[in-house]
Amino acid sequence: MYWAAGFASSRPCVVELGRNHSLPLGLCASEQQQSLYGYIIAFPLQDYGGIMSVLGSDSWWKKTLYITGGALLAAAAYLLHELLAIKEQELDSKDAIILHQFSRPKNGVPSLSPFCLKIETYLRMVDLPYQNYFDGKLSPQGKMPWIEYNHEQASGSEFIVDFLEEKLGVNLNKNLTPQERAVSRAVTKMVEEHLYTIAYCQWVDNLEETQKLLAMSGPLSDTLKWLLSHLNGSMVRREMYGHGIGRFSKEEVYALMEKDMRTLATLLDKKYFMGSKMSTLDATVFGHLAQAMWTLPGTRPEQLIKGELINLAMFCERMRRRFWPEWFVEVEDLYYDGDSESSSGGSPTGQLDFGLFSRTDTLDDSDGSSQSAGHSHTNSPDSDHSLFDSD
């Protein structure tokens, strides 16, 4: 007698683990996230002898065995639901920015999602205090990240930035000329729509290593990691195929990724992508390149960014030091030496999980472009002497 546990669903691509609790599967580079809605069920598999068809004629001990097996699987399903269920909390977004995003990974990187990292970095760049909420709940549009402010919601990284500019008057692009704004938007679309190949590296070609970064605990943590990573990998494959990039061979996918990274390295001829002043584009590029820099040890993206395209690594490190003072990495993790074990920096110090953040203790921007009205900053003592803060 064989038993199987599976997902029951009334909609394609969706599975729910209990009432009102969804399983978010969107750690990849796409903002089009999928939630799975349905129920975990346990069911017997019919064997070659058609044993289930003659259940009524089986002896009492066989019936007891079947029932016991089903009960055990049902208990396992319930335990899985309890491990994944997130306790609902009452949130008040009055005069407060609530940032909904995926939970922190294990290696100290703030997020495996480039879009979550983009928005949280952006909030720090414009010096807006916010409250993290790692509930995994997607927005009504099915996206992650999303924010709440004064009981209004905004989802999709581009619309979140527009929303904050309108409601709070912050604008990192105010000093850009119309031509520079056009270039910034074009590069943003290249990064968000075409540098999707980094997600391929994470969730398809380097799936086992990415799986290790998922932060889960409990008796079924390894099973849950395997399940989440493989489901997410399947969605990345499907989305990339629909996009068109996934229709090419692995070598061709990597060739496209390398062209994009070389283009970024050519554009980065100053401290930031649009010159000496920060812009929204810097948050966008950092969110994506940080994945290659710190989550893909020994891969082609890491070899490029820490080797031949070292100016991209310097940019990532500059952004990390300036806007993520609690995120530490080993010095040797900034360069690629050909050994994936040594290049990963050993055991990087874990990131402190600050729920509420305000960038009041990081380097003051001399050009004033990152400041919002009413906020003051203090200098980091070692920032002015860093190789990664120089042009």
Residue whose structure tokens are 């990064």: 191
Residue 46 pLDDT: 43
* Predicted pLDDT at 73: 72
- The pLDDT, as a whole number, for residue 58 is 56
pLDDT of residue 339: 46
Whole-number pLDDT of residue 31:
54
pLDDT at 108: 83
The pLDDT score that the predictor gives to residue 78 is: 56
Q: What is the largest CA-CA distance in the chain?
A: 84
Average pLDDT of the chain is 74
pLDDT at 36: 43
Residue 309 CA to residue 291 CA, distance in Å, equals 15
Q: What is the reported pLDDT for 365?
A: 43
Predicted local distance difference test score (pLDDT) of residue 149: 96
Domain of 198, CATH number, reads 1.20.1050.130
DSSP, res 155 = E
The residues near 112 (Cβ < 8 Å, ≥ 6 apart) are 27, 102, 105, 202, 210, 213, 214, 291, 295
Residue ranges of the chain whose pLDDT lies below 50:
1-26, 28, 32-55, 85-89, 335-336, 339-391
SS3 category, 367: coil
- Please write the tens of the pLDDT for every residue from 338-354: 543 333 333 333 433 33
Q: Is residue 47 assigned to a domain?
A: no
The answer, as to whether pTM is greater than 0.85, is: no
3-state secondary structure of 25: strand
Residues comprising the chain, all counted:
391
- Domain extent, residue 310, equals 97-325
Rounded to whole angstroms, what are the CA distances from 291 to 29, 259, 294?
10, 17, 6
Surface-to-core class of residue 31, CB atoms within 10 Å of its CB (0-12 exposed, 13-18 middle, 19+ buried): buried
Retrieve residue 71's tokens. Answer: 């009960």
In order of 10, 142, 371, 376, the CA distances from 367 in angstroms are 55, 38, 9, 14
In a domain, 80, yes or no: no
**How many separate domains does the chain show?**
1
The rounded distance, in Å, linking the Cα atoms of 49 and 63 is 16
- Span 227-248, pLDDT tens digits: 888 888 888 889 889 889 889 9
- Residue with structure tokens 């940080």? 290
| Residues 181-193 pLDDT 10s | 999 999 999 999 9
DSSP 219-285: TTHHHHHHHHHHHHHHHHHHHHHHHSGGGS-HHHHHHHHHHHHHHHHHH--SSBTTBSS--HHHHHH
- Assess if residue 21 is contained within a domain: no
Contacts of 180 (CB under 8 A, 6+ apart): 274, 275
Judge contact between 289 and 257, C-beta under 8 A.
no
The candidate with the shortest Cα–Cα distance to 308, out of 317, 316, 300, is 300
